[in-house]
Homo-oligomer: A and B are copies of this chain.
Amino acid sequence: MYQLGVVYRNITRTDRATADALAPLGSATVHEAMGRVGLLKPCMRPIYAGAQISGTAVTVLLHPGDNWMMHVVAEQIQAGDIVVAALTAECSDGYFGDLLATSFQARGACGLVIDAGVRDVKTLTEMRFPVWSKAISSKGTIKATLGSVNIPVVCAGAYITPGDVIVADDDGVVCVPRAMAAQALQAARAREANEGAKREKLARGVLGLDMYNMREPLAAAGLKYID
């Protein structure tokens, strides 16, 4: 349940080194490393392919058709942040365009995750300001009602606390709680370290059936081969 009309100026961010180190691991590996949790719904798609970022969440709660708080959150951005915009009800309007992107980028934001729509995607792409959204829409918004900044929000089905780490790439968006970030980074790195050897084996034609010792449990489960 949301508190409205407040801006928390002091949030505890995950330390920058940890937050930044998660980007190259990617959303899928980080999500697996945390025990398969933390994902935003797959309707959240990047506006262009290839962006892969991580950063600390500053959050903003918006009302349908109203982007007033986007200007309020801009002031709270620090270098390395990712803005996470949640909605009080479903809306596909275009809350964010090239002017706000210019402002966010100038303040140090490395991206936006929004459970609504964006516009000016051609310019955002040229600016290399990545956005993950559930819609692209020219529809403009008004500035009439207060939401909040830096309160915990639910964005695309995930609970996100200001200062958590967001990892976003072509596969989607995952939220790593601040308290788990160091451990998630370690687990994700361990997971990835493993993958090189596996990939090489698989590339040589070794089967996962053998590499993961699956034949026995499959037989135990009753799998039958028929010639």
Contact = CB atoms under 8 A, between A and B. Distances in A.
Contacts of A180: 1
A72 B221 CA distance: 13
Contact of A137 (B2, B42, B198): B42
A41 B221 CA distance: 27
Contact of A31 (B31, B49, B140): B140
Work out how many copies of this chain go into the complex: 6
Interface residues on A, range: 35 or more
A175 to B, nearest CB: 6
Interface string A117-145: 10111100100000000011111101111
Nearest to A195: B99
A190 interface: no
Contacts of A187: none
Interface string A134-162: 01111110111110000010100111000
Interface in A204-227: 204-209, 212, 214, 218, 221-227
Contact of A1 (B32, B71, B159): B159
A51 to B, nearest CB: 10
A172 B64 contact: no
A27 to B, nearest CB: 4
A1 B52 contact: no
19 contacts: A5-B221, A6-B224, A6-B226, A31-B140, A36-B139, A37-B88, A42-B136, A45-B136, A65-B66, A65-B89, A71-B214, A89-B92, A91-B91, A99-B199, A99-B208, A119-B171, A138-B171, A138-B174, A145-B221
